[in-house]
Amino acid sequence: MTAIAPKALDRIPPLQAVIFAGGATVFLLAAAGLLNMALAGAPKPPILGNLAVIAHLTTVLAALPLGLSQLVLPKGTIRHRIVGYVWLALMVFTALVSFAIHAINKNGLSPIHLFSVLTLVSAPVIAFAARRGRVESHRRAVLGLMGGGLVIAGIFTFIPGRALGQLVWSLFGRG
């Protein structure tokens, strides 16, 4: 007997599959931590009262599932273009607002802000490559931004002591 897999998932290259799994994990952990805070009364980290942090978290949590859907749904369609531009706008806004967050380095930027710079450099490359029909350049830039700007940066948010880290670790009695 053979397993039946959806057609779209049969064609996902390995790197794309890893980025999809990583992004889905980051999204689900963040959502679980926030829901635990909202529904079960886990203590709210003080930084979650900061408007820049709320805006950053809101836009990145909207960008994650949109980006993940782009990885597995058909390319070149009007839906792909519209969702792609919305995703890029969310990513750029997320990056820009991150420069107002100084939780790690109270006096300025921290190494995690390099992901914001990556986003601001990658966004025009992604848009221009798509508009010019340079599919491979577009694909590489999107995967780089998804892998670095969403998955790797997202993993850093779960470090104990950071706001999402506190919320997620509290799910396991460690927060």
SS3 39: helix
Mean pLDDT in residue range 100-118: 84
Q: What tokens were used for 78?
A: 């009007």
Question: What's residue 136's pLDDT?
Answer: 96
Contact criterion met (CB below 8 Å) for 164 and 170: no
13 in the Ramachandran plot: left (φ > 0), alpha (ψ -120 to 50) or beta? beta
| Alpha-carbon span 40 to 13, nearest angstrom | 39
Query: DSSP strand E in 73-135: where?
Result: none
pTM: 0.89
User: Is pLDDT at 32 greater than 70 in this prediction?
Assistant: yes
pLDDT band at 5 (very low <50, low <70, confident <90, very high): very low
Mean pLDDT taken over the chain: 90
Mean pLDDT in residue range 84-112: 89
pLDDT band at 4 (very low <50, low <70, confident <90, very high): very low
Contact criterion met (CB below 8 Å) for 165 and 171: no
Check residue 64 and report its DSSP letter. H
Mean pLDDT in residue range 69-81: 95
Question: What's residue 14's pLDDT?
Answer: 93
